[in-house]
Each structure stands twice: as structure tokens, then as C-alpha cells.
Amino acid sequence: VRVVIIGAGFGGLNAARELKGADVEVTLIDRNNFHTFAPLLYQVATSGLNAADVAHPVRGVFWKQPNVTFRNASVTGVDWEEQVVEVDDGDPVAFDGLIVAAGAGTNFFGVPGAAEHSLPLYSLADALALRNHLLARVEWAHAHPDEADVALTWVIVGGGPTGVEMAGALAELVQHVLRKDFPELDLDRRARIVLVELADRLLTPFVPKLSANARRALEKRSVEVRLDQQVESVAEDAVTLAGGERIPAHTVVWAAGVKASPLAEHLGLPLGPGGRIVVEPTLGVAGHPNVYAIGDVAVIPGEDGRPLPGVAQVAMQSGRHAARQLTRTFGRAGRPEPFHYKNKGIMATIGRRAAVAQFPNGFTLRGTLGWWSWLGLHLVYLIGFRNRLSVMVNWTWNYFTWDRGPRLILWTDRRRGRK
């Protein structure tokens, strides 16, 4: 029996692992040859971690699981008649059961100029491109001190966890590293980090007191928090807000939201909000008894009927559930069962000794305690002991020295910084 899993993110990877020892042949397909620990991408973008600290070669994950074959390719579509997945390189892959775990992509919400002039933070390539851009702009400011202000303004669009974490990490990079790297630039006075959020508070999935706590922690780090603000357009050298205010900036980070992977619309399956695939309570797709959709590419209904958030825990749990339902069905052990999400809580970090955490029973943590639990949790969930070790070394070093080793501008395509 052949199971194909599209995507090696948290969902796809956990689905494949769940099938260890099962009497199925699994083919896992991803356009990258590595799994990305997406929650830490902002640390790669701000020179806190190496690329390899948050990425793990997929083939290495399955050295000891011989029923998994990996294909490094982009999926271009599914032929439902022939029951094969089509890829951009090599032969199509036949399946008896299919798990669609293609994840999400950046949602620019049609804001003019956003796709062309802002930098998303959803993939490892995004994070490295953002790091190159950030650092190259400061070097440019150093070479052109009279015009430096626009190069030293960073606008982050979106006050969810990604935007808040990016703003906090960037503020610490500027205050503790770049200030020493560029003593001539007077960054204390000239550097400007602006966080723009559409709602009336940051971190809307959290309770209001944690939103307020995050805002205070950011403002303490000199981040300008702009609530109730809509971005009207993005240009090469400025962001314009709905009220008409124009913020000159060479760098705009787009952390405003995600939509389903573009693959979803090429599959001919029923789509919901954000282009996500609609699934039944079992995570199966109506009319396709052997097809499941999980994680960010699916609209997964929660207990209260509202869709579950696009977080790693939902992807991991839904991936394992879908894998189990396929083995149940193939093994004729009965009909697929509905998915029950076990909420383990949510967290976001602002900076050193500043994080917020919220658990389903209403318990909350913030400040130093929140930060330590955030650290521990992320170390536990990082794939692979080697990554954990390297991240621990990096974090310990960063903690005591405030240094950031990986602040390298690496244009592997030999292209130099654009504005």
C-alpha cells in the first residue's frame, strides 16, 4: 500500500513518522531537501542562529525508517483519475492514500507594492534574504551617512507572533550588536523600528493583558508600536499608511498573514477561507476517501466550530491523526475517526527575559519565567539532538556576550543589495 505525503513541514514530517513500522510504503515529497523549524526563522533573519540550526535534512530524519522514500521536487498537481502526484522533476508518484501537507505561503492581501518591495519571513530562503538585506542596508548607511535615515528604518507589518518576535529580535540586534559594529552611525538616535498592526492590540490570539505586556516590552526596546493602522501601499523606499502617513524605509518585513500554498488551488478540491482545503471532522476530503489535508493548507474545524490556528501543534497533531486514519482504513480496522485537537498553549518571545505564554486552563506566564519556558520548549521540539546542541551553544554564547556570530552578508548569487 503506497502513501504519498506532500510537504515535509511539521505536519508531513509527523505523518511520515507516525507510519513507522506500518505496512505501507511512504513517499514524502518536498521542494526543499530539509525540514524547517519555522518558529525560529526570525532568529536566522536577525543573525542569532545559523541556517543549519533551524533546518534538518529530511533524508537524515528517516535513516532508521526504511519504509520512507524522499523525493526532492515541487508538486505540480494530482491526477485523480490515475491516482498519481505529478512533480516538476522525474516520474509521477502513484498513491493509494494521500496526505496533503503543503503548508502556507505569504498573504500580501493585494496591498499594492507589497509583493515586490517587502520581505516575507516564511521560509529559510526568506530568512537568509532578509538577513542579507538588513545587514547590507546598514553597510549602505555607513557608506552614505547623509542619506542614512531611510536605510536605518525598519517597518514590520503585522503584530502577530512573527511580527512581534521579529521586532524584538531586531531591536536587540541593533542595540547590542550593530551599535558596536557601527559606532560612527549613532544608531541610538537614528535607528527606527516600526511595528504596524491592523487591530487595536498586538498578539490577538492572546488575552489582552499579555498583549499589553508585549507592547510594553517592545516599547522598552525602542520599538514604535502603531496599532489600528492599515498599510495602503509599499514602495522601494517607503510604506504608506491608510491615513496618508508615509514612513520612508528601505526595509519592510511582511508578517501580516499567510494563505494556503498555491498548490491547493491546482488540486480541484473544495477550498475555504485563505484558499485552504476544506476537510471533514476526520480531516478527510469529501468525495476522496483516501485523501487527507492537514496543517496550514487545510481549514480544520475546532471544538467550537471555528478553524484552528496555523500553528506547529495543529500541524503535528493533524499529521499524526491523518496517518493513523489511513492505516485504519487500509487495515479495515473501521471507519476514520474525528480529529480532536489538544491545545497545549501558545507562546511568543519579545527578547531576553521577555516572553508571554498562555495555557488552555487560563494560566499565563510572562517576563523572565515566560522566557525560560519558551527556551526550554523550543529546545525540546527542535528536530535532532545535533541542532539542539548547536542552538544551545549559540544561545548561551549570545546570552553572555550579546554577540551575534552569523551576521554574514552572503550573496550566493553574487547579486548585491538592492534598496
List interacting residues with its own copies (CB under 8 A): 32-34, 50-52, 55-57, 59-60, 63, 66, 69, 71-73, 87, 89-91, 124-125, 128-129, 132, 135, 139-140, 142-144, 180-184, 384, 386-387, 389-390, 393-394, 397, 401, 403, 405-415
Distances in Å between the Cα of 139 and the Cα atoms of 48, 136, 243, 249 are 19, 5, 32, 15
Q: Which is nearer to its own copies, 375 or 392 (CB)?
A: 392
Phi and psi torsions of 214, nearest 5° = -65, -40
* C-alpha to C-alpha distance for 79 and 149, rounded to whole angstroms: 53
Is residue 21 a contact partner of residue 68, using CB atoms and an 8 Å limit?
A: no
* Look-up of cell digits 525602542: 222
* C-alpha to C-alpha distance for 250 and 133, rounded to whole angstroms: 9
Phi and psi torsions of 24, nearest 5° = -135, 155
On the CB side of 292, how many CA atoms lie within 13 Å of its CA?
Answer: 33
**C-alpha distance across the termini of the chain, in Å:** 52
The residues, any chain, with a CB within 8 Å of residue 384's CB and separated by 6 or more, are: 56, 60, 61
Q: H-type helices in 177-311, by residue range?
A: 179-181, 187-190, 208-220
* Look-up of cell digits 521542494: 31
Q: Which is nearer to its own copies, 1 or 52 (CB)?
A: 52
* C-alpha to C-alpha distance for 42 and 163, rounded to whole angstroms: 9
CA 146 from chain centre, in angstroms, equals 36
The residues, any chain, with a CB within 8 Å of residue 19's CB and separated by 6 or more, are: 3, 26, 67, 68, 323, 326, 327
Q: Which is nearer to its own copies, 35 or 192 (CB)?
A: 35
* DSSP three-state, residue 381: helix
Residues labelled catalytic: 165
Is residue 62 a contact partner of residue 70, using CB atoms and an 8 Å limit?
A: yes
Q: DSSP secondary-structure letter at 307?
A: B
Quick one: which H or E segment has residue 293? strand 288-293
